[in-house]
A = this chain, B = another copy of it.
């Protein structure tokens, strides 16, 4: 009602590139209007925090662009990046909101990111008149839970080298640039330390494994640039049989 300076491009959600991938699509026009009116978009610079561990949960955050990670501080005071990254189209913070808890981790922009905030009250209001919306979040949570259990399992069963190979291949799907010769270039969105914490390992160990992969000619690492030379071999290591 008279906001003169918009913090960021307050585009209509309908025209948002990621809209179709979010849980928010499929609501009535009236509810969409309400959402558009109330949401607050804002740009976060790399390294900037979006919300903090222990904060009361005031609403949810829909990622329009960039990349957001969740950090926790472990018992020894180390910063740990959780495996679950927030890509464009992801809505963060719905879990504590619906569970009625505080934020369990600190959300940090891993790249410059545009994020829309939707207040808790509005979310609840929308949920009440859109049962499907709740179901979509439920669907999302169910998927995440499955993945988390899978990871737990993989972590215990596979050595670090395999886990790193796996993570590389996942990141490739989001950040990979395919070349004509079949090789792929990936820009890692995180530091090696974060890479380490994501897989429950130490940075030194990561370094060594990277060196190994390098020497074996599977991939070439240079800073955050990874040039995967032999994807097929990488895949073969993960699954010598070829189940899927």
A residues apposed to B, CB below 8 Å: 72, 74-76, 80, 82-84, 94-96, 98-101, 104, 127-129, 131, 134-135, 137-139, 141-146, 148-153, 155-157, 199-201, 239, 241
Contact = CB atoms under 8 A, between A and B. Distances in A.
Contacts of A96: 142, 146
Q: Which of A145, A152, A155 has the most CB of B within 10 A?
A: A145
Nearest to A128: B131
A80 B154 CA distance: 12
Given A75-B157, A134-B131, A135-B127, A99 B151 contact: no
Contacts of A134: 131, 134-135, 138
Chain A binding site: helix, strand, loop or mixed by DSSP? helix
A84 to B, nearest CB: 8
B153 A200 contact: yes
7 contacts: A83-B152, A95-B142, A99-B138, A99-B143, A134-B135, A138-B141, A148-B151
Contacts of A141: 98, 138, 141-142, 145
Contacts of A101: 142, 146
A138 B98 contact: yes
Nearest to A143: B99
Contacts of A80: 153
A239 B76 CA distance: 11
A132 B135 CA distance: 11
A219 to B, nearest CB: 23
